[in-house]
Structure 1
Amino acid sequence: MLSLNNLRIICTSHGLRHSNRLLMNKACLSKVSSYVTLNNCITLNSNKGTKQRNSLRLLKERELKYTTIVSSQKLFCTTHVKQNCWNCSQPIEETPAFFCLSCNVLQPPDESASFFQIMDCDQTFAISTEKLQKRYLHLQRSLHPDNFSQKKEKEQEFSEHQSALVNKAYRTLLKPLSRGLYMLELQSMHLEEGTDPGADPQLLLELMEMNEALQEARSPEDVHPIGQSTKERLKELTEQIDASMRKGELQTAKELLSQMKYFANIEDKVKEKLSELM
């Protein structure tokens, strides 16, 4: 359980440097942010005894609602509260739950569930895309809005939201780049937009040469070697990122994902160029 002292540590520069390791997701960050704001209020009103006592009491009441579970790499914030079925009021035990086991009525999306939980995948970089696709097809057959056209308006609305969420989860986890970026996001880590100022100059030169070769290509035979080289680099990066993720070396994984972003862009340009030349 988060204590007042721990929250003060998070507010310090030392705490900020390690906040990515302490906070798993945006939900945790939002809760801690509210605590930090409250703690600042307590400090500013330290000379006002009544307000301070009220604020401390409120803080302790909120702390009772949240717990942290330590994993091998990070702290998870468990803010999930057991829900009851909106139709029959029976408890919903599964997370995420798509249907009530008692009345078989469709439930609203579980906002606390990760894409890995929705797609029933282990939270690892190397996942089975075959299993992912099977799960996707199964969920879409069950949740598609066409299946609920004769159901209650509430179920129709939930089916649209659930189906859209499954689509987003599937697209995100399907490709290595978007999957890796999502895993970083779960750790409150993000890649900067644009060119990385710390990128290897040799890498940037290689990318520039590949872009120039694509622009000058006049036939599919000119493009294929670039496409093959790009695929090989992406395969190497995928293996390196997987190894880094398994070891918990998130900063290394972030740097490798930055490189993967460049080569994924080249891969898209190769496809566009081949389409133009066909």
Structure 2
Amino acid sequence: MDFSQTYFELFGLPQAYVLDRARLDAAYRELQTTVHPDRFAAQPGAEQRVAMQWATQVNEAYQTLKHPVNRGVYLLRLQGIDALAADNTKMSPAFLVQQMEWRESIEDARADKSVTALDALSGDLRAAHRRIEAQLAELIDTAHDFAAASEAVRQLRFMDKLIAEVGDVYEELES
């Protein structure tokens, strides 16, 4: 195995935002079977260490590619762009206003202890997440507009945080 391969090459997948999750999962399971450290328990220490490095690489690659934000960040990094750099904070004003409205809705649902409001908000957030993911796929795979894709990645990251925050409020209300 070659440690210089991209994560896509490692799993035999095309280098694209849109990927076949079933193929990724199958390739991951196959590689895990091949490089799992237990298979090398009787081998010399050097071979055990290499197997551990491979298992770590395979796990990291899988975790990166299966998560939409991480996959976008990785693809942009392959293009020389650090989408999450501290100095890369450009965000459309409309998205920022919408984000503030969603945060207010979360706080209102928390204050009102309204699961119904959280359900509606959760649906809105997930729909917005899907729209941004589709936009990101278009920007990376078709338009090759990596600067715009960088902003879409940051938006998706915000959406993940908002969705997690809604989950936290659900837990608060259940207890």
TM-score range normalised by the length of the shorter chain: 0.7 to 0.9
Distance 1:234 1:163 in 2: 31
- 2:52 and 2:91 map into 1 onto residues whose CA distance is 42
Supply the RMSD in Å over aligned alpha carbons.
1.8
Please report how far the alpha carbon of residue 195 of structure 1 lies from its aligned counterpart in structure 2 after TM superposition.
8.3
> Aligned residue for 2:99?
207
**Whole-Å separation in 1 of the counterparts to 2:121 and 2:86:** 25
2:78 corresponds to? 186
Q: For each residue in 1:31-81, what CA deviation from the matched residue of structure 2 results, as whole angstroms up to 9, or x when unmatched?
A: xxxxxxxxxxxxxxxxxxxxxxxxxxxxxxxxxxxxxxxxxxxxxxxxxxx
The structural deviation recorded for 1:255 is: 2.1
> Which blocks of at least 5 consecutive residues in structure 2 are unaligned?
none
How far apart in 1 are the matches of 2:58 and 2:163?
26
Shift of 1:178: 0.8
The alpha carbon displacement at 1:194 in A equals 8.0
Which digits, 9 at most, give the CA deviation of each residue in 1:231-255, with x for residues without a partner?
1111111111111112222112122
CA distance in 1, matches of 2:39, 2:115: 45
Q: Secondary structure at the match of 2:8?
A: helix
TM-score, with structure 1 as normaliser: 0.57
Distance 1:214 1:194, change over 3 A: farther
Q: Which runs of 4+ in 1 moved over 6 A?
A: none
Residue 152 of structure 1 corresponds to 44
How many residue pairs get aligned? The number is 169
State the percentage of identical aligned residues: 24
Q: Specify which structure has the higher proportion of strand.
A: 1
For 1:82-115, what per-residue CA distance to the aligned partner results, in whole angstroms no more than 9, with x for missing partners? xxxxxxxxxxxxxxx2xxxxxxxxxxxx331111
Secondary structure of 2:76's aligned partner: helix
Larger radius of gyration: 1
Which residue of structure 2 aligns with residue 37 of structure 1?
Answer: none
Instruction: Name the structure 1 match of 2:159.
Output: 263
Larger RCO: 1 or 2 (CA < 8 Å, sep 6+): 2
1:277 equivalent in alignment to 2:173: yes
Distance (whole Å) between structure 1 residues aligned to residue 86 and residue 155 of structure 2: 13
**CA distance change for structure 1 residues 267 and 113 in 2, over 3 Å: closer, same or farther?**
same
Aligned pairs (5 A) from 1:1-278:
97=1, 110-191=2-83, 192-193=85-86, 196=89, 198-217=90-109, 218-245=113-140, 246-278=142-174
Structure whose residues are more often helix by fraction? 2
The 1-side partners of 2:88 and 2:133 are apart by 20
